[in-house]
Amino acid sequence: MSRAQRPGEPTPFETDPAGEVADRPETWKVEHSAEAYRGAKTATRVDHVHMPGPDGDEVVAREFLDHPGAVAALALDERDRVLMVSQYRHPVGHRLWELPAGVRDEEGEPPLATAQRELREEAGFRAERWYELADFFPSPGFSSERIHIFLGRGLTRLDEAEVGFDRVHEETDMVLRWVPLEEAAEAALAGRLHNGAAVVGVLAAAKAAADSFASLRPAVA
């Protein structure tokens, strides 16, 4: 049985009558933290966090994936076609259509530089102009991963010497395809695309196309 609400206590579902709809940083007190496992690029942590309880604060364990973050590059050509790659993803047992993307595993490398590198290495292209497209947490309930998506225009095809990258493992048999932006957005809405960064990036780009991308902010390193 739930306890009675105390006088003056806010209801569980308090409404916010005004203000900009925008996320904000906030950190609750951590009593102690421990690393449960460390892999090649990520780790699993358990934080014991002070949280509101029925009778005041209580310390609750929260297990999460400590992730360095990732980027994705939505490359759009002069015909408004998106460069997409098909790649096998073992954890989900699918071959997914994605944007060129990668983990931020180079110490001190800005997100934009990582996106430029991934576009070069995975797809063999360089973009002349870059814009901020989306910035999101794909699984905030159990992972600290943050993904930045950049839109690149003014594309140039690179030769193998300029790419300077040997594709191995999942990247060995990647397939590249130019997909009209409208078609890619329809695929996302129809549930035919499942990669989170691809869905978010494609739909954000389709929205931005309504004003010829004038609303996008130039990306800076």
C-alpha pair distances (Å), 92 with each of 5, 95, 171, 175, 202 = 44, 9, 16, 19, 21
Instruction: Provide the β-strand partners of residue 87.
Output: 96
Q: Which residues contact 209 (CB under 8 A, 6 or more apart)?
A: 80, 181
Q: Is 171 a catalytic residue?
A: yes
Which one-letter amino acid corresponds to residue 22? A
Dist. CA 208–CA 193, nearest whole Å: 19
Selected catalytic residue, list 109, 171, 182, 186: 171
Tell me the catalytic residues.
171
